[in-house]
Chain A
Amino acid sequence: DAGVIQSPRHEVTEMGQEVTLRCKPISGHNSLFWYRQTMMRGLELLIYFNNNVPIDDSGMPEDRFSAKMPNASFSTLKIQPSEPRDSAVYFCASSSWTSGNTDTQYFGPGTRLTVL
């Protein structure tokens, strides 16, 4: 199994530009999570999906952030326009969700985003 795949691994952009981060979950998993990791705030859950449907986006910092999951094997996290304070490592994770359980989440290698 290839694990969770994220692209790009590194992204450097200028303030005001649109940034799109991509994630391919583990095949067969039906839940997908987007996290952000910073020195100041640690690991924060941004949004998660069950069966391609957004369940909780309360962690999305503001309207500049949006996430989609058009099918079971692909998700995007978009920032438009980007700002320097968005610089962080963004992780995608997936799990095989079963109701009533807290299932193990498997993390991708992350995308390191730098906004100049």
Chain B
Amino acid sequence: AQSVTQLDSHVSVSEGTPVLLRCNYSSSYSPSLFWYVQHPNKGLQLLLKYTSAATLVKGINGFEAEFKKSETSFHLTKPSAHMSDAAEYFCVVSNTGFQKLVFGTGTRLLVSP
């Protein structure tokens, strides 16, 4: 079975400072990993996806994540936060080749001026 743990329920940053959202995963097989973002009262939008190609994955809006097998981590980073980044972020895992996604509990990112 697979699972994902998002280590922080809330992260607060100032505009222009780096963002780090932490995610650890557990998977019985080779994992596929995703980060989705959800703005208030909106659906989920894919930020980036890892499927056993390059370990450093670049996504939309300047976000990137690094797959570290030895640490079973897939942390999301961005060099400089923007006010529009304020949203809920979900780390998601699946066993590669399977369709069922397992979602983390989410991290709410707050960005202050």
Contacts and interface: CB of A to CB of B under 8 A. Distances in A.
Interface of A: 4, 31, 33, 42-43, 45, 48, 50, 55-56, 91, 93, 95, 97, 99-110
Interface of B: 32, 34, 36, 42-46, 49, 51, 90, 94-101, 103-106
Contacts of A50: 99
Contacts of A45: 100-101
Contact of A107 (B43, B96, B99, B100): B43
A107 B103 contact: no
A35 to B, nearest CB: 8
A78 to B, nearest CB: 21
A86 B49 CA distance: 31
Nearest to A98: B97
10 contacts: A43-B103, A45-B101, A48-B100, A95-B99, A101-B51, A102-B51, A102-B96, A102-B97, A102-B99, A104-B49
A31 B101 CA distance: 13
Contacts of B36: 107
Contacts of A104: 34, 46, 49
